[in-house]
Structure 1
Amino acid sequence: MKNYIYIILLITGSTASAQVAIGKSSVSNTSVSLEFGNENRGMVLPWVTSTGAISGVEDGSIIYDLSDHKVKVKYRLAWKDLSVDLTGTTLDPVTNIDGVLIQDAAVEKTSAKVSIGTPSDLPAILMLEDTDKAMILPSVASPHLNIINPAPGMMVYDTTANQLAVFNGKMWSFWKPSN
C-alpha cells in the first residue's frame, strides 16, 4: 500500500506547477511563482561582502552589499544601487549588535539552493526559474511606519504609495517606475 501511495505522490508532484505561497494558503493566480502574505513583514535579501566577491551573477539578481550598505540589483552587466542613501548600517535592529558578526557566526552551506520552476545550474540561494511567472513581494502599507524593526536588506511593496521599498539598515528608499 505504501508503494502505491508513494507512486501516486511522485506522479502528482512531477506534474504539479511550481508555485509557492508563504504566509498564505495559495498564490493569487497562475502567473505567480512565489507570493508572500500581507503581514507587516518583508523579505530580507542575501548579504554579500561586496559585489566583487560574487561571480556568475545573472541580470535580475538582488543583494544587500555589506561594503557600502546598499541594496543592489544586477542590471545589464552592472550593479544598480536601489538604496540611494549613503548612511546604511548592518546593526541588528532589535539587539543593536553588528549584524555582520551575527552572520559570521553562521556556517554557510554553499551548495544550498531552492529552485522554483525548472531547475538550472545557475549559482543562487533562491532561484525563480519559471519563464512565464513572477514573484509578488510582501505587500505592506507604508512600511516605514508599519514595520517596527526592519532588517538591513529588507524589501517590500508599499501598497499605500504603490512602489518598491528597500531598507539599507538606516532608512527606506522608494522606487516607482518612471512614466
Structure 2
Amino acid sequence: MVLNKLQPREKKLLIGFIAVLLIGGFSYFYSWQKKSLNQKELQIDNTLNKVKIESAKLKKSSVLEKKYQILLKKLNAKQKDFLEQNQEVDFLLDLNDLALNTNVSLTNMKPGHISQQDIYLEFPVDITLKGAYGNIIKFIEEVKSLKYITRINKFNISSVAGSNNELEAKISLRSYSLDRKEVN
C-alpha cells in the first residue's frame, strides 16, 4: 500500500492535513446548522411575541366589550332624557305649549337640519318670543322642565320699538335623540 512507503514525517503531515480537513468541514457544517437554528429560534420568538400581543388584545377586547355593555345599559337607562327619534314635532309642540303656559307670544319657530353628533342626533330650533321680561325668563326656566334634554345655545333679548314693557327674545335651542343604529 502507498501509506506504508511514506516516511513517518509525511505520515504525520498527512494525518494533520486530514485532521484539519475534518475539523474545518465539521465546523463549516456546524456553523451552517447553527445559523439555520438561530433563524428558526428568531422566527419562534417573533411568532411567540405576536401571539402574546394578540392575546393581550383579546383580553383588552373582552374588557372593553364588558365596559361597552355597562355603558350601553346606562345609556339605555337614560333614554327617557332624550327626545325620541323621529319625534321632533313633539319638541316643537312642547315649546309652543310652554310659550302658552308662560304667557309669551311665540312669533317665529324655525326648525334646523338634524345633524349627527357621535351617537346622538342634534335637533336645532330657533324661536322668537315676545312678552314681558318676567314671562320670558319664566319660559327659559321652564325649558329645563321638558321631559328630554334641551340646551339653550344662544339667547338674545331686546326691547320692541313702540312698546314700554314688551321685549323680544331670540333663542336658539338644541334637543337630542339617540341614534339607535349607532348604539346597537
TM-score by length of 2: 0.19
Instruction: Give the helix-richer structure, 1 or 2.
Output: 2
For CA contacts below 8 A with separation 6 or more, give which structure has more relative contact order: 1
- Compare CA radii of gyration and give the structure with the larger one: 2
Instruction: Give the strand-richer structure, 1 or 2.
Output: 1
